[in-house]
Structure 1
Amino acid sequence: MDRKMNFPVALMLSFLLCLGIVGVVSDAYDHRYKQEDVVPLYANKVGPFHNPSETYRYFDLPFCSPTTPKDKLEALGEVLNGDRLVDAPYKLEFRVNYDSKSVCKKRLLKEEVARFRSAIDKDYYFQMYYDDLPAWGFIGKVDKDGKTDSPSEYKYFLYRHILFEILYNNDRVIEINVHTDTNTMVDITEDKAIEVEFMYSVKWKETDIPFERRMEKYSQSSSLPHHLEIHWFSIINSCVTVLLLTGFLATILMRVLKNDFVKYAHDEEAGDEQEETGWKYVHGDVFRFPKHKSLLAACLGSGTQLFSLTIFVFFLALVGVFYPYNRGALFTALVVVYALTSGIAGYTATSFYYQLEGTNWVRNLLLTGFLFCGPLFVTFCFLNTVAIAYNATAALPFGTIVVIALIWALVTSPLLVLGGIAGKNNKLEFQAPCRTTKYPREIPQLPWYRRTIPQMAMAGFLPFSAIYIELYYIFASMWGHRIYTIYSILFVVFIILLIVTAFITVAMTYFQLAAEDHEWWWRAFLCGGSTGLFIYAYCFYYYSARSDMSGFMQTSFFFGYMACICYGFFLMLGTVGFRASLLFVRHIYRSIKCE
């Protein structure tokens, strides 16, 4: 037992030692300023409000810009998040008074006017960061006058005056709000060159909010009190319903099992005159190793790694690492933790593969390494090509791709190999309470509803119903502009998801064995992971009915990356379902006397 636990424990300790690197990020500034000190203001990106993945550099639109805009050096997670910070054309010194300045007078050519008009028509917004505080605004508006539905008769106005309202406490910035002056708009409806004077104003206000609480504004705005109450009520209602249904099914299953145990014990006392029926009838085949055992072991290895990744990310979220607008923290954590947990995948896959009497452990290890990374890499190549074609900030720079490749080559792969070697040397045997016969029994003809696809549909529906309500809030955060901060609720829902997945898979395994179908190994994994298919089906509903996303780039990003996420859920929940079924099968066959 000690040898079995050494390697995963060592990996966990290594992660905890690196936790400070992932979770604690030191700022370039101490956030304290004196009078007339320059506070860093960065322009981040612009893009259609309803297409969060389709963002562009701020100066891709013909705003007033410095001769040589200076880019901010960004961390890995910021780049993955699509952030491209550059010095803004506005200079907001720490000067506690009202200030109004002109940035520049710029003559917009006919083509530049058309670009602005197209951006306003698509509801473009801009994002900036002032002392690491986010600020947003729209670049213009469309005036429809309510008289016509013809776009050709709309009027387009460009905002040229931005109002910054900054709250401060002593020598620190607490809050920033951005407004646009609707009294100084420029009409850009016609295709003609015009001269525009871009301006900005700053208004300082004192506040007693301490610096440590300046991010609470964004947390509170993400879940207003009435929304939070509805959120809690919906989650509790869903959880109670699912748990009651699960408890009802569990009671039935336990009663049926109890009757089976009594019946089989009575048959043993009466002798062998009666022919065995039900799940005891297949005791000589139930532990017969499945087909494609290398693939099954690889799936379990990848699923275990993704489960470990999820638990570690939840830990970071619950201790407050992912506070609102901690730019790129989540993506950094995902990359680093996935790399550090790759040894768990290698250990689990190779160890289980050897328990199934596998011999080609190198091929099994390669399959484990590429089972999840392979489809993710192919998807990334396609979507990154699309982003490059759109010249969007979602396209990763070559240097970032090299960094990720080095992490995979120098961290992920070596840990995967070390885990595989540890699993190979583990020398554990598969614990089967029954002897396996030499020749398999023939499986009887089963009705259609006992086949794989209908069983997957039934097994995936109940776990999906447990997380259905929470999915909307998660999607609105991932593919919208809401902020998700209630990680405690999400963790409770995740635990319920695991419990329901384990139970429903166990129930399906029992019904399969009771029908004398002994090929339960792959069925248990597929039934456990089928919730991932339901989540992907929900993506189509969310895209068409709950969002305003449009365009080829946003559509491909949404369905492409959600396919990878749902595939990850399939592997993780499939592993949970299989492990629960394996424990259940071992338990019931250990409880009876099998000749």
Structure 2
Amino acid sequence: MWHYFLILAEVTAFSLPGVAPKDYEEGSKIELSVNKLDSSETQLPFDYYYLNFCKPAHLEKKNENLGQILSGDRQESSPYEIYMKINQNCKYLGTMKNNHDQVENFKWMIDNQYRASWMMDNLPSGLRLTASFENTEPKRLSFYQDGFPIGFKKDGKYFVNNHAHIIVKVYNTYQGNDQSPDTWRVVGFLVEPLSFYNKSPENLKCSEQDFIDYLEYSRELEEQFVNPEEIIENGFDGYMTGILYQILEKDKNITYTYSVTFEKSDVQWAHRWEMYLYSGMNKEVHWLSVINSFAMVLLLSGMVANILRRTINKDISRYNENLDSEEESGWKQVSGDIFRPPSHPMFLSVLIGSGIQVIGMAILTLVFACLGFLSPAYRGSLLTTAIVLFAFMGVFGGYTASRFYKMFDGVNWKSCAMGTAFFFPGLCFIMFFVINLLIRSEESSGAVPFFTLITLLVLWFGISVPLVFLGSAMGYRKPTIQVPWKINKIPRPLSTMAGSWKISLIGLLAGSLPFGCMFIEISYIMKSLWHHTLFYYLFGFLLLCCIVLVITSAEVSILLVYLLLCKEDYRWWWLSAWVSGSSGIYLFLYAIIYYSTELNISRFSSSVIYFGYMFLGSIAFGIVTSTIGFLAAYIFVRRIYSLIKLD
């Protein structure tokens, strides 16, 4: 049985349909584009040419999708000239001179551990270091992450990595057919950043024999793949010793050079993303953790569900055998009030409608990701798909909200539709607008252009809002949902009001269970979100965790609602949403702990970005779990009250 689960996780991670390989003949040009400068210390991306790097004669900007723009990706052309299977030991790129402001920008980014992100054949640039440790042979350490250091600080001085040794791993597609050309595919892309002091453009360090010997020597070393979390801090000297670094000073010439090495690889093109996707995590440990969590939750859920089923069956048998309600106690006594509309029925309807909209978006996005349609080769596709799907899911959100609102005897369905259309999207847009203003004040490339804001507003007002109203109109025109029991005209007095707050408190504690079943996967997602060198693409594991989340959220809400009804308290509507929805509180508390222990953020704007987006994520998580809990409890209550006989 475990093998089938493993196959599911593997297939969902590796299938990347819609991405066609590109074959290169020997000597053909391979385009290298620069992306952005990014740091986990500040969460503020910058355009690559924000620093005074060498630019091509004709700078071209690549077309970007909505997700790339929102994440700060800015792909542009570069002056690097790389030709398939042609090694280059030393190529002059250009000489730049920095003024005072440019030097300060460099120093600030080096202090905040900024990394340069490049792209080649849709592959991000990993990091290569040649290292010699105590009592060990020198090795080539390959960190498959996104980006490499732009410089380092040593003995109070700042140095620039002005030489890039570019390593391109290629796979030979030649099949032995004389009629087919000898072509190659790019299956790996690494950059070894080095700092050299060049006396002049005519006297380059990379052209000297010691560097050429170093290249030849490093090609013969054993390659070792290292987890990006174990990356050595900036300032690592590497294997080369006795060299002068390029110091960063005002009005001092910095000569940029590069070298290119092609390495033949046995990795096929279809599997080239594996090192990027799984280098940041132990896949076996990850898999075992998810399986243990999945099995434990299913076992406990089965036990609780079985006990609850037996208890309810006994209650139903007892109620149906003895129809004298005066001698009975328990949840049957509130049958005439169990479907009485809750307090604030419109807000509850809006909450459930918004939850359906978010759940629909999440399910379809996860399905597309598991099928491989959201390939990491297309950066920003995941975020773009999620935003577009959320807009189109508005019809289901509006329909669900109006159906419950009408059942709650609501008459102003247009206000309910307005609330569904603007509650969660409006909260997101306000938070996003405030964050965008802060990012813009930092001159970051993460600031969203005006045209993109207009695009988001068009998706909201042009698609989402009309669809919400359409769904609301369709739902409100439907006949009112019929309930199994007639509602009493006079509410039953509540004799246990003093103990109801205890159940609410227990519900708050029970909200930790839905969060707990997602904790392992959330930790991996947090690493990929806030440590920009790591990738997340294990959507097969995420799918299993979401199944556990649905089961747990439904069960805790049903259990707490049953305990409340046994106390003859019929105010279960809000409790059913509160129990599982309180898991959003635990997610935000975890975000605070993660901020304090895993991140090193010191800037106010960066802290606002982190807590702003984590607040929205916690709200969304709470809305999803509260909707699942509410619907499960609603089905449960309808079922048990439809099985008992009328007095």
Q: TM exceeds 0.5? A: yes
1:70 aligned onto 2:81: no
CA pair 210-25 structure 1, distance change in 2 beyond 3 A: closer
SS across alignment from 2:434: helix
1:188 aligned onto 2:247: yes
What do the CA deviations read for 1:127-171 (whole angstroms, capped 9, x no partner)?
Answer: 011121111221112225xxxxxxxxx232211111001123324
CA pair 398-26 structure 1, distance change in 2 beyond 3 A: farther
1:316 aligned onto 2:368: yes
Q: In the alignment, what sits opposite 2:592?
A: 540
Is the Cα–Cα contact under 8 Å of residues 242 and 465 in structure 1 kept in the other structure? Answer: no
Is the Cα–Cα contact under 8 Å of residues 301 and 551 in structure 2 kept in the other structure? Answer: no
Distance 2:569 2:340 in 1: 12
Distance 1:107 1:328 in 2: 35
Task: Give unmatched runs, 5+ long, in structure 2.
Answer: 1-15, 126-146, 173-182, 198-243
1:277-292 correspondence to structure 2 within 5 Å: 277-292=329-344
Is the Cα–Cα contact under 8 Å of residues 17 and 372 in structure 2 kept in the other structure? Answer: no
1:243 aligned onto 2:298: yes
Which one-letter code corresponds to 1:242 in the other structure?
A: V
Distance 2:333 2:162 in 1: 80
1:31 aligned onto 2:22: yes
Distance 1:574 1:299 in 2: 8
What is the CA distance between 1:49 and its match in structure 2?
4.1
Q: In the alignment, what sits opposite 1:302?
A: 354
Structure with greater proportional helix content:
1
SS across alignment from 1:240: helix
Q: In the alignment, what sits opposite 1:149?
A: none
CA pair 465-580 structure 1, distance change in 2 beyond 3 A: same
CA pair 36-175 structure 1, distance change in 2 beyond 3 A: same
What do the CA deviations read for 1:311-343 (whole angstroms, capped 9, x no partner)?
Answer: 101111110123334300101111111122111
CA pair 39-468 structure 1, distance change in 2 beyond 3 A: same
Is the Cα–Cα contact under 8 Å of residues 503 and 564 in structure 2 kept in the other structure? Answer: no
Q: In the alignment, what sits opposite 2:256?
A: 198
Is the Cα–Cα contact under 8 Å of residues 99 and 202 in structure 1 kept in the other structure? Answer: yes
Which one-letter code corresponds to 2:574 in the other structure?
A: W
Which one-letter code corresponds to 2:298 in the other structure?
A: L
Q: In the alignment, what sits opposite 2:487?
A: 436
Distance 2:36 2:283 in 1: 30
Distance 2:46 2:261 in 1: 29
Greater Cα offset, 276-285 or 97-106:
97-106
Greater Cα offset, 106-115 or 376-385:
106-115
1:161 aligned onto 2:157: no
What is the CA distance between 1:266 and its match in structure 2?
4.0
SS across alignment from 2:94: strand
What is the CA distance between 1:263 and its match in structure 2?
3.0
1:91-102 correspondence to structure 2 within 5 Å: 91-94=81-84, 96-102=86-92
What do the CA deviations read for 1:456-515 (whole angstroms, capped 9, x no partner)?
Answer: 312302222211222111111121132222211111111011001101100000111111
1:178 aligned onto 2:191: yes
Distance 1:310 1:277 in 2: 42
Q: In the alignment, what sits opposite 2:392?
A: 340
Distance 2:107 2:562 in 1: 63
Q: In the alignment, what sits opposite 1:512?
A: 564
1:141 aligned onto 2:192: no
1:331 aligned onto 2:379: no
Q: In the alignment, what sits opposite 2:267?
A: 209
Q: In the alignment, what sits opposite 1:10?
A: none
Distance 2:494 2:101 in 1: 72
Distance 1:316 1:249 in 2: 33
Greater Cα offset, 70-79 or 310-319:
70-79
Calculate the aligned-residue CA RMSD, in Å: 2.3
Is the Cα–Cα contact under 8 Å of residues 165 and 205 in structure 1 kept in the other structure? Answer: yes
Is the Cα–Cα contact under 8 Å of residues 265 and 592 in structure 1 kept in the other structure? Answer: yes
What is the CA distance between 1:24 and its match in structure 2?
7.4
Q: In the alignment, what sits opposite 1:582?
A: 634
Which of 439, 454, 458 is residue 509 of structure 2 equivalent to? 458
Distance 1:129 1:256 in 2: 61
Which of 453, 456, 462 is residue 401 of structure 1 equivalent to? 453
Distance 2:55 2:418 in 1: 50
Percent of aligned pairs with the same amino acid: 31
What is the CA distance between 1:31 and its match in structure 2?
2.7
Is the Cα–Cα contact under 8 Å of residues 350 and 364 in structure 1 kept in the other structure? Answer: yes
Is the Cα–Cα contact under 8 Å of residues 448 and 454 in structure 1 kept in the other structure? Answer: no
Which of 311, 320, 328 is residue 265 of structure 1 equivalent to? 320
TM-score (norm 2): 0.81
Distance 1:118 1:176 in 2: 27
Distance 2:369 2:96 in 1: 46
Is the Cα–Cα contact under 8 Å of residues 95 and 253 in structure 2 kept in the other structure? Answer: yes
CA pair 111-352 structure 1, distance change in 2 beyond 3 A: closer
CA pair 571-86 structure 1, distance change in 2 beyond 3 A: same
Distance 1:435 1:140 in 2: 74
What is the CA distance between 1:356 and its match in structure 2?
2.5
Distance 2:247 2:108 in 1: 10
Is the Cα–Cα contact under 8 Å of residues 164 and 258 in structure 2 kept in the other structure? Answer: yes
Q: In the alignment, what sits opposite 2:284?
A: 229
Task: Give unmatched runs, 5+ long, in structure 1.
Answer: 1-22, 145-153
SS across alignment from 1:198: strand
Which one-letter code corresponds to 1:234 in the other structure?
A: S
Distance 1:26 1:497 in 2: 32
What is the CA distance between 1:35 and its match in structure 2?
4.7
Distance 2:55 2:152 in 1: 22
Which of 70, 73, 81 is residue 80 of structure 1 equivalent to? 70
Q: Give the total of aligned pairs.
A: 553
Is the Cα–Cα contact under 8 Å of residues 196 and 245 in structure 2 kept in the other structure? Answer: no
CA pair 387-186 structure 1, distance change in 2 beyond 3 A: same
1:352 aligned onto 2:413: no
Distance 2:32 2:373 in 1: 24
Distance 2:89 2:354 in 1: 57
1:46 aligned onto 2:104: no
Q: In the alignment, what sits opposite 1:13?
A: none
What is the CA distance between 1:425 and its match in structure 2?
2.3
Which of 601, 612, 620 is residue 549 of structure 1 equivalent to? 601
Which one-letter code corresponds to 2:123 in the other structure?
A: L
SS across alignment from 1:72: coil
Distance 2:471 2:124 in 1: 42
Is the Cα–Cα contact under 8 Å of residues 93 and 256 in structure 2 kept in the other structure? Answer: yes
Distance 2:524 2:391 in 1: 28
What is the CA distance between 1:61 and its match in structure 2?
1.0
What do the CA deviations read for 1:67-98 (whole angstroms, capped 9, x no partner)?
Answer: 66322221222112210111123222335232
CA pair 386-452 structure 1, distance change in 2 beyond 3 A: farther
What is the CA distance between 1:101 and its match in structure 2?
1.1
